[in-house]
Amino acid sequence: MMMILYNKKAGELLKANNAGVLRRHKGVKAKRFEPLRDFIIKDLGLTFLDYESAEYCLATDKETEHFGIGTDAYAYASSPLRRYVDLANQRSLKNILNKKVIVTGK
């Protein structure tokens, strides 16, 4: 839970400063599994199979919403030892905080 909160806040800060790499997720994919939709999605309860795949995007992109997390900006930043993108985002966050050029609000 804390990891998701940290990544949401990191994403918001990165987006506000047009820096870093975000993770976007568009949500439900129309007409996927259409022939077996009722069985797979409703009867088996596997609604996640009907979602688009999440993808990386730049903080400067217009569409950065993450449907699965329910936020406008989400960034991988909490595990720089596991993923390189986390390390890159940590460096961007450090630069933002060191310059104290933090943009708040929209």
Q: How far is CA 31 from CA 34, 38, 60, in A?
A: 5, 12, 30
| pLDDT averaged over every residue in the chain | 83
Q: What is the pLDDT of residues 18-46, one digit of tens each?
A: 999 999 998 766 555 566 666 665 666 66
Give the predicted TM-score (pTM) of the model: 0.73
**DSSP-assigned letter for residue 28:** B
Half-sphere exposure of 101 (CA within 13 A, CB side): 10
pLDDT 10s digits, 40-63: 656 666 666 667 788 999 999 999
| Contact of 67 with 25, CB cutoff 8 Å | yes
Q: What was the pLDDT predicted at 31?
A: 59
